[in-house]
Chains A and B, each alone.
Chain A
Amino acid sequence: MLLSRRTLLLAPPAAGLAARTAAAAGPMKVGFVYVSPIGDAGWSFQHELGRRAVDAALGSAVKTVYVENVEEGADAERVIRKLASDGNELIFATSFGYMNPTLKVAQQFPKIRFEHATGYKRAANVATYSARFYEGRYVAGMIAARMSKTGIMGDVAAFPIPEVVQGINAFTLGARSVNPKAQVKVVWTSSWFDPGKERAAADVLIAQGADVITHHTDSTAIAQVGEEKGVFTVAYNSDMAKYGPKTCLTAVTHVWGDYYVGRVKAAMAGTWTSGDTWGGFKDGMVKLAPYNAAVPDAVRQEAAAKIAQIADGSLKPFQGPIMDQSGKPKVAAGAAMSDKEIAEMKWFVEGVQGKI
């Protein structure tokens, strides 16, 4: 549990988070807030799969509801408050921009438990959770480099926030672990969901010689472009094999179901506590989607071995020596970046072509 002094100060002095009382008999109500329409792939879709997993695991003991496409500005607070005043006892706010609204509402509802995805501010009744997506991206980069002929890969990314930068860096480090000359070119779209822009960015990258394209955006555009042009892709968020049956090599997927089921059960039992969860391969929160038939056995075995090493801690994606883009050493050989350094990452490693 990571609780810094600053976040502790935010905690209300006494919050009564007891087990559910007889007054709260009947199914436990659990609310989910999504930043985008659910659709059939992407960030919010993965959270929706998590919600469905809760329904499947706990059946009539829970009643889950969701609100989709909630903007991160002023709207979020209203929706979260509405869910709280509507009797939901545990509320998952699944986008970074919900951080301050969640904390504001949580102060007014000390008996309700809140969970905020990817944030860093906590309170006695606000926990945070995220996944080490970069672990998946490291192995994805390795597979991409094995499949690339030019050694040039493209990455279509939304915004230069640490989570995205971690992913690009890990992908590049993974690629360079099997091809030290690999280059990863980055194009920003300044939008989480904009199929048109993502498509245009992929075209630019392909024209520049990239022969494997990955992305950190929400649409299925990249997998579709790859399929049309016969260029390999590595998808993000969700398994997109059906959009790229011949070319989508795999996907770095987010798996929230087990976490959500565990937290709901804890809330029911009265054992729920605030804190921070940052799970990876080990916890099953990050997985690679089933490989495309084009991925040879040797590469599959290599990937499986890397995943096992990352899960048992013997391989850390951000293990030194790591240079930055100018070749200046950032992490010494034998050292590894701390969680805090990773969480704040705002620089590119050697081999990334692009600017933050």
Chain B
Amino acid sequence: MRLSLEPRTSPWPLMSALAPLLAVALATLGAGILFALMGRDPLAALHALFLSPLDSVNGLAELALKATPLLLCAIGIAIGVRANVWNIGAEGQFIIGAICGGGVALYFGPDGGWWLLPLMLLAGVAGGMAWAAVAAFLRTRFNAHEILVTLMLSYTAVQVLGWLVHGPWQDPEGFNFPQTPLFEPGALLPVLIEGTRVNLGAVFALLSVPLGSLLLGRMMVGFRIRVVGLAPGAARYAGFSEAGTVWFCLLLSGGLAGLAGICEVAGPIGQLLPVISPGYGFAAIIVAFLGRLHPVGILFAALLMALLYLGGEGLQISQQLPLAVTGVIQGMLLFFLLGADVFIGYRVRIVPRTPRHA
């Protein structure tokens, strides 16, 4: 007897929508067992992981703050993937966006007016777009694959940032530490709720959800993206330009990542440092797929990822559990989600044992 996986002939839409919830439920169960095995009260530990980060206004604000860069980067990545354009380098576009916008803040210093913040945001978006444009150009002109180019350009971006904060943009009063001066108050995004850190960037991130849905679902360009992604031959036949789609997707996702970058440095960080992202651009790839490449799904996925970051800190503080435990729970979550996908797309059939040399 053996087990065999066979593709389902009819789709299973209800389960497809429920799969993420099922994965969360199974991961929660697994986490509870893990906590019990480590000698902690499972309910108290689950409370610390999933609920205590949300029990105050400040906690909710921190969740929104943490989800903002993930959401902005993931929406752009998802729209690209729908057209089969893989922007793996949102991290680099994030960094260049932060550099360009931050550069504007440093250049004008205290001389800025009302126009300074809009200019910084525009510079951030333009920077992210420009970095992604390199990949678009190489793809459409020389057929260099964007996965490789965008990924490699991320490492280049890290080096550019390192050079700037160690060199020309270093704070002259900073004892030669690699950092720029702090931005002036006028160059910081306004805070939405007094006493918290959640800022205007969260509004941009939230707006990207309906706009992304609208683009994919209701607009001609979204239709083109989906056709190019699903049926390149049909797209060519219909006269849809593949190069145009590549450019559009990379500029859009680069711009969103750049916006995320400038919102991060003009928000909670307030200056340029050698490291400004704990890998948001890469984590956003997971967020995009966890959210089923759909903007609304991505919103929930970004919030969940952000919650796991915050909850991981809560586990360390209130339960004295090492950070690695959070990593295990994240892994379980992805494992169960992918596992659920298998059972949605395939069904298990028990094949009776057959003689080997029949």
**Residues of chain A whose beta carbon lies under 8 Å from any beta carbon of chain B:** 6, 31, 37-38, 65-75, 77-79, 81-83, 85-86, 96-97, 100, 120, 159-162, 190, 343-346
Q: Is the CB of B268 within 8 A of A77?
A: yes
Taking the closest CB of chain A, its distance from the CB of B88, in whole angstroms, is 20
Which of B175, B197, B316, B323 is the most central at the interface, judged by chain A CB atoms within 10 Å of its CB?
A: B175
Interface residues of B in 245-297 (CB under 8 A from A): 264, 267-271, 273-278
| Chain A contacts for B358, CB-based, 8 A | none
Whole-angstrom distance between the Cβ of B296 and the nearest chain A Cβ:
26
Which of A6, A82, A96 is close to B317, meaning CB atoms less than 8 Å apart? A82
Complex contact A161–B273 (CB within 8 A): no
CB < 8 Å: which of A65, A162, A190 contacts B159?
A190
A67 touching B278 in the complex, CB below 8 Å, given contacts A6-B173, A190-B159, A346-B176: no
Q: Given the complex of chains A and B, what is the CA–CA distance between A50 and B277 in angstroms?
A: 29
Q: How far in angstroms is the closest Cβ of chain A from B245?
A: 34
A to B CB contacts below 8 Å, 9 in the list: A31-B317, A69-B323, A73-B277, A77-B268, A82-B313, A83-B317, A100-B270, A161-B176, A344-B176
Interface flag for B91 (CB, 8 Å): no
Is B162 part of the binding interface, using a Cβ–Cβ cutoff of 8 Å?
Answer: yes
Interface centre among B159, B267, B316 (most CB of A within 10 A): B316
Q: Which residues of A contact B197 (CB under 8 A)?
A: 74, 77-78
Residues in chain A near residue B317, CB distance under 8 A: 31, 65, 67, 82-83, 86
CB atoms of A65 and B162 under 8 A apart: no
Q: Is the interface of B mostly helix, strand, loop or mixed?
A: helix
Q: Which residues of A contact B275 (CB under 8 A)?
A: 71-73, 97
In the assembled complex, the Cα of A31 lies from the Cα of B316 at a distance in Å of 11
Determine whether the beta carbon of A37 is less than 8 Å from that of B324: yes
Q: Is B166 interfacial (CB 8 A cutoff)?
A: yes
Among residues of B, the one whose C-beta sits closest to the C-beta of A118 is: B177
B273–A97 CB distance below 8 A:
yes
Interface residue? B322 (CB, 8 A): yes
Residues of B contacting A344 with CB < 8 Å? 175-176
Cβ-neighbour of A161 out of B66, B178, B264 (below 8 A) = B178
Contact B313 A67 (CB under 8 A): yes
Give Cα A220–Cα B14 distance, bound, in whole angstroms: 51
Residues of B contacting A68 with CB < 8 Å? 316, 322-323
Which residues from A are CB-within-8-Å of B278? 71, 73, 75
CB distance from A212 to the nearest CB of B (A): 28
Interface centre among B178, B277, B313 (most CB of A within 10 A): B313
Please name all residues of chain B whose beta carbon is closer than 8 Å to the beta carbon of A31 when the two chains form the complex. Answer: 317
Complex Cα spacing A38 to B320, Å: 13
Q: What chain A residues lie within 8 Å of B65 (beta carbons)?
A: 74, 78
Determine which of B270, B271, B316 lies in contact with A67 in the assembled complex, contact meaning CB atoms within 8 Å.
B316
Are A162 and B166 within 8 A (Cβ)? no
| Cβ < 8 Å to A, chain B residues 313-341 | 313-314, 316-318, 320, 322-324
Partner of A65, one of B66, B173, B271, B316: B316
Task: Chain A residues near B324: list those with CB within 8 A.
Answer: 37
Beyond the given A67-B313, A159-B178, please list 18 additional residue pairs across the A-B interface where CB-CB is below 8 A: A31-B317, A37-B323, A38-B322, A65-B320, A67-B316, A67-B317, A68-B322, A68-B323, A71-B278, A73-B275, A74-B267, A78-B65, A82-B313, A85-B58, A120-B175, A159-B166, A162-B177, A190-B159
B166 contact from A6, A81, A86, A160, Cβ within 8 A? A160
Determine which of B176, B273, B316 lies in contact with A345 in the assembled complex, contact meaning CB atoms within 8 Å: B176
Give the docked Cα–Cα distance between A70 and B324 (Å): 13
Query: A81, A82, A100, A345 — which one has the most chain B CB atoms within 10 A of its CB?
Result: A82
Contact of B316 among A66, A96, A159, A160 (CB under 8 A): A66
- Contact residues in A for B146 (Cβ distance below 8 Å): none
Question: Known: A159-B274, A190-B159. Is A74-B177 also a contact (CB below 8 A)?
Answer: no
Given contacts A71-B278, A73-B277, contact A162 B176 (CB under 8 A): yes
Interface core residue of A6, A78, A162, A190 (most chain B CB under 10 Å): A78
Q: Chain A's nearest CB lies how many Å from the CB of B257? A: 16
B267: chain A residues at CB < 8 Å are 74
Please give the distance in Å from B303's CB to the nearest CB on chain A.
16
A120–B318 CA distance with the chains assembled, in angstroms: 31
Nearest chain B CB to A183's CB is how many angstroms away?
A: 24
Contacts of A100 in B (CB 8 A): 182, 270-271
Q: Which residues of chain B are near A96, meaning CB under 8 Å?
A: 177
Question: Which among B58, B276, B318 is the interface contact of A73 at CB below 8 angstroms?
Answer: B276
Question: Which chain A residues lie closer than 8 Å to B276 at the CB level?
Answer: 73
A218 to chain B, nearest CB (A): 14
Question: Which residues on A sit within 8 Å (CB–CB) of B322?
Answer: 37-38, 68
Chain A residues contacting B178 (CB-CB under 8 Å) are 159, 161
Min CB distance B253 to A, Å, is 22
**For residue A82, which residues in chain B have a CB less than 8 angstroms away from its CB?**
313-314, 317
Least Cβ distance of A73 to chain B in Å?
5
Chain B min CB distance to A214 (Å) = 22
- Docked Cα-Cα span, A330 to B221, in Å, equals 64
CB distance from B282 to the nearest CB of A (A): 13
Give the residue of A38, A72, A190 whose beta carbon is less than 8 angstroms from that of B273. Answer: A72
How far, in whole Å, are A71 and B324 apart by their CA atoms in the complex? 15
Q: Are B264 and A162 in contact (CB under 8 A)?
A: no
When chains A and B are docked, how far (Å) is the Cα of A6 from the Cα of B181?
14
Specify the chain B residue showing the minimal Cβ separation from A190: B162
* Contact string against A for B residues 123-167, beta-carbon threshold 8 Å, 1 for contact and 0 otherwise: 000000000000000000000000000000000000100100010
Q: Give the CA-CA distance A189 to B314 in the complex, in Å.
A: 33
Alpha-carbon gap, A344 to B171, bound state (A) = 12
- In the complex, the answer to whether B269 meets A161 with C-beta atoms within 8 Å is no
Query: Closest residue of chain B to A72, judged by CB?
Result: B275
| Cβ–Cβ < 8 Å partners of A65 in chain B | 316-317, 320
Query: Distance (Å) between the CB of A191 and the closest chain B CB?
Result: 10
Determine how close the nearest CB of chain B comes to the CB of A75; give it in whole angstroms.
6
A69-B323, A162-B176 known; A74+B313 contact, CB < 8 A: no
User: What residues of chain A lie closer than 8 Å to B320, measured between beta carbons?
Assistant: 65
Kindly identify which residue among A67, A74, A97, A190 contacts B268, using a CB–CB cutoff of 8 Å. Answer: A74
